[in-house]
Structure 1
């Protein structure tokens, strides 16, 4: 027995050493897998990187399961959080960083766990809590201060809040001139200034960046960005040699260089050289779309419409979802409308200008430009038949596109005062709920007198104004009634209650029933009240391919912010939507940017971002029934949580 005890005593240190080596080797392998995953991520080998991170999690979890009290337990917990962070699983990363802080409060890894928890919250769009954590890091952990400050400033760039991003990044670079984040901060500062049109600051930031980067290819790309800023400032002669110096070195950068060089040449009057340069662009990418759009625009401005159409079509085929691809599609629609107008004999200036406004309103969805053109019709041709129709169309945009019934009232009152004897003035009275003659069965074109009424039938009351809480989905009063019960109702695009030029008038609501006296009528039955503000809010609309808040929507957003302040326990989901044009991935991103824009507006209005959740549906939940109703799809909807 004593001999057995002595033998066991000699084996015990070896067993302990083996156990220690086992959990160290397990954790060592976890670290190795994590490092390999980071390297593969930098090489953009996403699938293989994810496999390595998953193995790092597996090995680290094994350390915690078998040796929970070992000296590597806090390291294993932290490594799991880092691996989830690199895989983009930010919720899981946050939980493991929390676990480390709670279970190992004395660990030297706590500062980094708090720091990475804040970064994970930023990536997870939990901006309020993230700012609180990163501010804590800046105060309490000097070794991580510059990283926390950079990511706080960078978060505005990620959210496309360009003004705050530019200001915050400039302050960061001033306070931390030697920071390891200097290159990324300069890249983001320059890009933010470009978005804001601060071209001088953009140029300066890119010039600073060019002196710091060591990669010659990136330096060539930065030279193109400097040239872009110079062109925007009108300094074309300085841009040309800068572009030519970088052209030809890297084939995958040449398309961008040729587009920029063509722009600079065109601005200095060398149009033939510019066209020749743009034709060198070969890629089916954003630069290919821009080059051929600019060639098409040149031909259109010179009256060569067939050549313009051919190049716009090429721009669309190069990349129809890019900015210039979309512009090419719009120009094609405009050329088609002009061709139709010529074929139907629309020759008078007032007719042509009104038709142009209609194209921007109904075909292109550019309602701000349409409003401007309608006003130009009114101002330039006040004695024409198109002037009152243009005024009613402006009110229609306010009422049905912008969901701003109150905003339409001044235009309707001016229409009644200036053109009291027109059918458009009568329609304005109906919209305002004022006494008006019965609506004829057709509203004739403005160039001809109103047609006599047909056999009258019962008239429905016009819809009430649309306020916050009202979805505004009922059609305007000029549209025919919904189909019967054997055919499900279909969403109809809202169009003005008058006919476009040169076309037969569309039917509107019929006259009152026979024997019903004309003049003021008893008040129609009261409609059900719209949903209360504590159950629904009306959508916010957006211009085509844009994510910026329109001035007309700020009043509605202000009412939402007021309601949220009055109900501090309620939370709101903001869901962004797009019309069906464009690729699914692009539309998902655009819907997200629209929701984030609304969230940023409400946050600036004093709403805690923790109470605002964003989502995107892209173009998967459209509500229009055709291109003329696409404006209804471009929206952010609100729902209470």
Structure 2
């Protein structure tokens, strides 16, 4: 019996120890998963707090965009998480300085889901993961986690937030239908919550994004009536103003922006509302009240960090009120006090415009435009300033050439000079003088009737002198009856020209062909063909004129849209039984718009050559564009690797646009290789090609040229092939 006592004692100890050990392991396990969740929540909260601080700072740096020149609408900007539409928000990018914190939170929360699926913190963990993905702008992943939360935990306290951020994820993915559904679920939840006002606000935002401004106004107003104390109320009122602004109802916009103050906005929202109110008053013709708004805004110490932008608006108001000296002085103050900024670049640009258009000092204007470009090369107006500077330089070049030019060449130079004065320099009086001088100097030139027509336009449209315009129309009809402008002038006068016989109609049609193929003037050819067809619809030439007109639209003017399709359909309807209607049907059945040309200029295999003869300059002249010179630096043609085994070789004919500095800015395939990959490689090579603009005719710069890119398989797979050169 005594021998059994130790065993009994040990058994008793073990039986007492087992419950204690079980309790210990249970508590330790609970502690482990709670610690895991604790750190997940800690990382998440820290990242969220950091992000809120950054967004608040970003709003403080926000600056409305200046309104564009008359005739242009404000750019469409979207509201996204604390940024008001109509302004320039901080760019959203994939970079997030707190990404590491969010990733740690996701990792810890995922462990709770994986190892403790029965834990009471599972819905918390799902929300943390979903919101972390959302804050990292990984919206599809965020959406999946929020859906998992609402499906598996329909009674969770996180349901309103899950639906709201599900909606926000779809909003950023531009799936507005699903976003509306999610916001609708938030509004259906019976209990009151802070997110209902935001969901209501976002429904209005969707209407704004879809540019349904009347609907957006209604939804913003509905949100304001239901959630008067919402933190979003000031922003909603601001957006009502933006909607009226986009509808170009500037008086209503000004009134709406004024009402923002009643909703107790923060400092920056208050500033934005005042700024936009001032702009709206300017655009509604109330310069004095608008100027007063900006002057008061400029004196508010809270907004001294926006002083440059406000001063630009003050200068604009002074200028619109005819106070040129004050405006120029204010622009100079912006340049001096805020150098190397977007605002100082804008000030240089506006000074350039004043010197160009009002003071007519082109030398000083060019100086201002050049300084604008160097002041801040990345500014919004830098490229436009560069273009204006180039136009002034081109104008100077025309004047120098005109002194040494005679005959048709001189007439062309003078016409280009007048055109530049009218369209780019804003000097219609000077342009008129050049047009009329051209007619007196070169009355037999092809540019004479064109100059008279342009002069008539100035008299009629810009000066309102209809009598003088009629005199010029009569002169065109009498002195240049076979020009393309005679028919237009006759229509303006309401008279019939005595050219209805087939011989004269044929001459007109031949003249249109000459304009297109030999002189490279598709617009003039189109005008003449339209008049022939409209005035003589029953003639035999009318269907041919209609088809040629449609072909010009399809091939030269609007190859990327459906204008050509409509023109061909019109031929089929108006001239159904003619050969040209059948030709129109054939054109509508083509899969490639360049098929006719590609039939002559095709890709071939092996050692064959193309049927297109690059030395045949008459072929090029028919296309209406000059041949590009030898490149200064030819772009590298990279042969598509997947086509190497086919040994395709040949040439691609391109229409390229060469700017003032010899850079290729556009490239379009005219003669296809019949391979999209090779065509694209040719375009890429052309866009990297540069030309020596010093050796090119200044009149041809900023214009279109023909350019060949040759191709053949490289010596070894994956190697790069020497680029093609101009024909």
Q: TM-score range by the shorter chain?
A: 0.5 to 0.7
How far off is 1:67 after superposition? 0.7
97 and 16 in structure 1: CA distance in 2 versus 1, 3 angstrom threshold: same
Partner of 1:312 in structure 2?
Answer: 369
Is 2:369–2:388's contact at 8 Å kept on the other side of the alignment?
yes
Matched, 1:125 2:174: yes
Counterpart Cα distance in 2 of 1:306 and 1:487: 51
169 and 354 in structure 1: CA distance in 2 versus 1, 3 angstrom threshold: farther
Is 1:186–1:209's contact at 8 Å kept on the other side of the alignment?
yes
Partner of 2:144 in structure 1?
Answer: 95
Partner of 1:351 in structure 2?
Answer: 415
How far off is 1:196 after superposition? 3.5
Secondary structure of 2:98 counterpart: helix
Partner of 1:247 in structure 2?
Answer: 298
**Higher RCO (Cα < 8 Å, 6 or more apart):** 1
1:323-360: per-residue Cα shift (whole Å, max 9, x none)? Answer: 54444344334434433433343679993598459978
- TM-score, normalising length: structure 2: 0.53
Counterpart selection for 1:387 from 485, 489, 495: 485
How far off is 1:179 after superposition? 2.5
How far off is 1:432 after superposition? 5.1
Counterpart Cα distance in 1 of 2:611 and 2:213: 45
Partner of 1:634 in structure 2?
Answer: none
Counterpart Cα distance in 1 of 2:218 and 2:104: 41
Counterpart selection for 1:272 from 320, 325, 339: 325
Partner of 2:20 in structure 1?
Answer: 10
How far off is 1:55 after superposition? 1.2
Partner of 1:33 in structure 2?
Answer: 43
Matched, 1:200 2:251: yes
How far off is 1:212 after superposition? 4.1
Counterpart Cα distance in 1 of 2:623 and 2:369: 32
Counterpart Cα distance in 2 of 1:161 and 1:321: 33
List runs of 5+ in structure 2 lacking aligned partners: 1-10, 56-94, 403-409, 425-450, 458-468, 490-508, 517-521, 552-582, 615-619, 628-663, 667-681, 690-701, 706-727
1:213-271: per-residue Cα shift (whole Å, max 9, x none)? Answer: 56546544543333222222222222334323332634431110110000111112211
Is 2:401–2:413's contact at 8 Å kept on the other side of the alignment?
no
1:54-92: per-residue Cα shift (whole Å, max 9, x none)? Answer: 111111111111211111111101110011011100010
Counterpart selection for 2:356 from 297, 300, 313: 300
Is 1:378–1:390's contact at 8 Å kept on the other side of the alignment?
no
Matched, 1:413 2:530: yes
296 and 464 in structure 1: CA distance in 2 versus 1, 3 angstrom threshold: farther
Q: 76-85 or 130-139, which moves further after superposition? A: 130-139
Counterpart selection for 2:115 from 44, 66, 71: 66
Partner of 1:550 in structure 2?
Answer: none
Partner of 2:230 in structure 1?
Answer: 179
Counterpart Cα distance in 2 of 1:417 and 1:186: 53
List runs of 5+ in structure 1 lacking aligned partners: 361-372, 400-404, 435-461, 500-504, 508-578, 582-619, 631-641
Counterpart Cα distance in 2 of 1:427 and 1:307: 52
Max Rg structure: 2
Counterpart Cα distance in 2 of 1:194 and 1:426: 47
Taking the TM superposition and a 5 Å limit, the aligned residue runs for 1:22-171 are 22-44=32-54, 47-141=96-190, 143=192, 144-158=195-209, 165-171=216-222
1:132-179: per-residue Cα shift (whole Å, max 9, x none)? Answer: 332343334563433222112113445666565445434433443333
Counterpart Cα distance in 1 of 2:453 and 2:219: 41
274 and 433 in structure 1: CA distance in 2 versus 1, 3 angstrom threshold: closer
Counterpart Cα distance in 2 of 1:378 and 1:472: 37
1:392-449: per-residue Cα shift (whole Å, max 9, x none)? Answer: 9xx99xx9xxxxx9xx9897331456699xxx99995771599xxxxxxxxxxxxxxx
152 and 429 in structure 1: CA distance in 2 versus 1, 3 angstrom threshold: closer
Is 1:111–1:141's contact at 8 Å kept on the other side of the alignment?
no
Secondary structure of 1:44 counterpart: helix
410 and 344 in structure 1: CA distance in 2 versus 1, 3 angstrom threshold: closer
Counterpart Cα distance in 1 of 2:586 and 2:348: 45
Counterpart Cα distance in 1 of 2:210 and 2:314: 31
1:500-533: per-residue Cα shift (whole Å, max 9, x none)? Answer: xxxxx959xxxxxxxxxxxxxxxxxxxxxxxxxx
How far off is 1:122 after superposition? 1.1
Counterpart selection for 1:287 from 337, 343, 360: 343
Partner of 1:449 in structure 2?
Answer: none
Counterpart Cα distance in 1 of 2:487 and 2:372: 36
How far off is 1:52 after superposition? 1.3
Is 1:137–1:145's contact at 8 Å kept on the other side of the alignment?
yes
Counterpart Cα distance in 1 of 2:543 and 2:686: 29
Is 1:157–1:192's contact at 8 Å kept on the other side of the alignment?
yes
Counterpart Cα distance in 2 of 1:290 and 1:57: 46
Counterpart Cα distance in 2 of 1:349 and 1:341: 6
171 and 341 in structure 1: CA distance in 2 versus 1, 3 angstrom threshold: farther
Is 1:81–1:96's contact at 8 Å kept on the other side of the alignment?
yes
Counterpart Cα distance in 2 of 1:374 and 1:498: 28
355 and 199 in structure 1: CA distance in 2 versus 1, 3 angstrom threshold: same
Counterpart Cα distance in 2 of 1:264 and 1:476: 55
Is 1:377–1:390's contact at 8 Å kept on the other side of the alignment?
no
165 and 314 in structure 1: CA distance in 2 versus 1, 3 angstrom threshold: farther
* Aligned length in residues: 458
Counterpart Cα distance in 1 of 2:311 and 2:611: 53
Counterpart Cα distance in 1 of 2:52 and 2:596: 53
622 and 386 in structure 1: CA distance in 2 versus 1, 3 angstrom threshold: farther
173 and 335 in structure 1: CA distance in 2 versus 1, 3 angstrom threshold: farther
Partner of 2:309 in structure 1?
Answer: 256
Is 1:187–1:206's contact at 8 Å kept on the other side of the alignment?
yes
Counterpart Cα distance in 2 of 1:291 and 1:274: 10
1:42-62: per-residue Cα shift (whole Å, max 9, x none)? Answer: 333964321111111111111
